[in-house]
Amino acid sequence: MNILIIHEVDWLKKITYEIHHLSELFSLSGHNVYAVDVPDPGIFSVNKKIFESINNYHRIYAKSSVTLLRTPIIPIKGLNRISAYLLSYYFIKKILKKYDIDVVFLYSAVTNVKATIKACKEMKVPIIHRTFDVVHDLIRENYLRNFVFRIEKSVYPQFDKVIANTPFMKIWSQEVGANNVIVIPQGVDPNIMKPLPQDIELQKSLGFAEKDKVVMYLGSIESFSGLDVLIDMIPSILKEIPEFKMLIVGAGSHLDNLKEQARKLAINDKITFTGYRPYLELPRYCSLAILCVNTFIINEMTKKLSPVKIFDLLSCGKPVLATPLNGLLHDFPKESNTVIYSDLHDFDKNIIALLKSDSLGNIGKNGREYVEKNFTWSKIAEKMLNELNQTLI
């Protein structure tokens, strides 16, 4: 097959994500894989390379090959999205013709989704949408949230198929008009995300001591992340566990708020912020932690989710304490003994109990075995390719 994967973010700057795994695994299965993204110029860029196509691109699997085709944009922050919205139709239609595309695998929900639908309908190319999030729920500005919601309601009925990552995203997709919806979960590569011995060099560079009991958060830092609640608990945790240290790997709009919160609580020396780190380095950071946490506040948006970072952390053999998101509970039921669930307001008590426990190693081992059995990217890619093939019959 000639497969075109379309996203609305910068393929090169985006943290390693499902698009990278699947596109590269599709190519390793013998398919011709092309990808369209929307370049991010930063504030402003005069670098002409951001418009150039990239052949034989890969980030994860050395022998894979993806052709990255970059949407022409005005290289100014904000205008890059607006210009992509206006110019994507002609660009995508040209690609459909030139590369004789058989099927489009779409991750976009706003910027180039209407252009993709229009071009594909004219060229009679089926579109499969991969659904992770209720995008309008992620937007704080009311006027923009309503605009995006109108787009979502207008485009979902036009997809040939929707592949949701949880049953709850399937229900939502159907509520906004999708007609052919199935569920395929996310995945992990256990050969990359794997248990490692404690990385002494990294430990020293981050200022941790051998005796420290490191608890790690991995992922985006947004208003729904719940980390502010956990940071407020750290003084009480320290009374019981003086060796407690917090490692926060990630970035986002609330990062500066958390740093200021730590300063006001006088616990700066107990929290290490690393910002985003390359995907292939994550096992090294996991090696420092004896417990990982996902503190997401449960609301109408987050409860549908099953964050892919949980798959990575479990694959690295780490016990995970998480709020009970419905999507997460679907992939990792309580009876699987993989994820430890807790209400956010009880995280301090549970962290203290777990750090005093002798069972963390066994819990981490269970999680590793569970994801290896059920959620490898190779299995997910095989299921996805089967669905792509089905649209051509």
Per-residue confidence (pLDDT) for residue 90, from 0 to 100: 97
Residue with tokens 């395929």: 184
Residue range 263-302, pLDDT digits in tens: 999 999 999 999 999 999 999 999 999 999 999 999 988 9
Rounded to whole angstroms, how far apart are CA atoms 367 and 370? 5
Per-residue confidence (pLDDT) for residue 281, from 0 to 100: 95
| pTM assigned to the model | 0.90
Rounded to whole angstroms, how far apart are CA atoms 58 and 64? 6
Per-residue confidence (pLDDT) for residue 16, from 0 to 100: 86
- DSSP three-state, residue 341: strand
Rounded to whole angstroms, how far apart are CA atoms 138 and 126? 28
Burial of 205 (0-12, 13-18, 19+ CB in 10 A): exposed
Per-residue confidence (pLDDT) for residue 15, from 0 to 100: 81
- DSSP three-state, residue 313: helix
What backbone torsions phi and psi does residue 11 show, to the nearest 5 degrees?
-60, -30
Q: Which residues of the chain have pLDDT under 50?
A: none
Sheet holding 320-322, edge to edge: 271-275, 244-249, 213-218, 291-294, 320-322, 339-341
Rounded to whole angstroms, how far apart are CA atoms 282 and 295? 19
Domains (ranges, CATH) in the chain?
Answer: 2-187+377-390 (3.40.50.2000), 200-374 (3.40.50.2000)
Rounded to whole angstroms, how far apart are CA atoms 222 and 205? 26
CB-CB contact of 288 with 262 (8 Å): no
Residue with tokens 């066994």: 362
Per-residue confidence (pLDDT) for residue 59, from 0 to 100: 92
Rounded to whole angstroms, how far apart are CA atoms 112 and 134? 17
Per-residue confidence (pLDDT) for residue 248, from 0 to 100: 98
